[in-house]
Amino acid sequence: MEKQIPKYFLEIAYNGTAYHGWQIQDNAVSVQEKLNDALAILLREPVETVGAGRTDTGVHAKKLFVHFSSSAKVLENSDRFVHSLNALMPFDISAKRLIPVGPEAHARFDATDRSYEYHVHFHKDPFLHNFSWLLRDKPDVEKMNIAALELLGRQDFSCFSKSNTQVFSNFCDIKRAEWIWEGDKLVFHISADRFLRNMVRAIVGTLMEIGLGKKPIEHIKGVIQSMDRSKAGTSVPACGLYLTEVIYPYID
């Protein structure tokens, strides 16, 4: 019987400002490209990583898991491996922890829940540039939270998805959708079993139309029922979006 190559999950975080998203692309620099390059040097062999999902250009991740397989001895000491890997990666990408997993484990397909945050601020702050969306007028948060209740549950969210995406279904089960003041910043928290491309930014844009008085609260229900992207609000800037959590049944 052929010996199984050990498989690992790697938890990473990154500032997405300089990258054209997570996934490797032909003519643009991605987070996955930089990670694969660093792993290849450290493991002394080509490495293919698989991520829990993709993030778009300029989007950040506080927690993303990837999986890869390797028999390299450097993996036997996880703390030393993480330290060495961080030394090889750019300042805006960091490895957090290495977790041995079973041969069937999959970073994308085994994830049961994912969470995002969208950050908004209302006064010019150079330290929030590229990390939060600067908005002039404060929205009505109560109205936005009432509207956000319409998002909960399993529904077809085609209205919030980019067109021509290669997915088999546009159904998602949203378990949390809530705006919270955190000091002077307004943060949207959303959790679901899966997300469509551009979905969170389109949802935020739609809720902002309601919060700023451009649309009534009932507008969001019609948008969802339409299954038409043109009925939803404009996608808000990527800089305020963070992937914050990915949940697996076998990882603490």
Distance of CA 15 to the CA centre of its chain: 12
Task: Give yes or no for a contact between 62 and 242, defined as CB atoms under 8 angstroms apart.
Answer: yes
Type of residue numbered 130: N
Residue 223: phi and psi, rounded to 5, are -60, -50
Give the active site residue among 26, 37, 56, 228. Answer: 56
Task: Give yes or no for a contact between 115 and 250, defined as CB atoms under 8 angstroms apart.
Answer: no
Q: Tokens at residue 185, please?
A: 């910043």
Is 14 annotated as a binding-site member? no
H-run or E-run covering 185: strand 185-192
79 is catalytic: no
Task: Give yes or no for a contact between 224 and 210, defined as CB atoms under 8 angstroms apart.
Answer: no
Q: Tokens at residue 226, please?
A: 């339409």
Task: Say which residues have a Cβ less than 8 Å from residue 230's Cβ, sequence separation at least 6.
Answer: none
Binding site for substrate, by residue number, is 116
Feature table: binding site: 116
Catalytic residues: 56
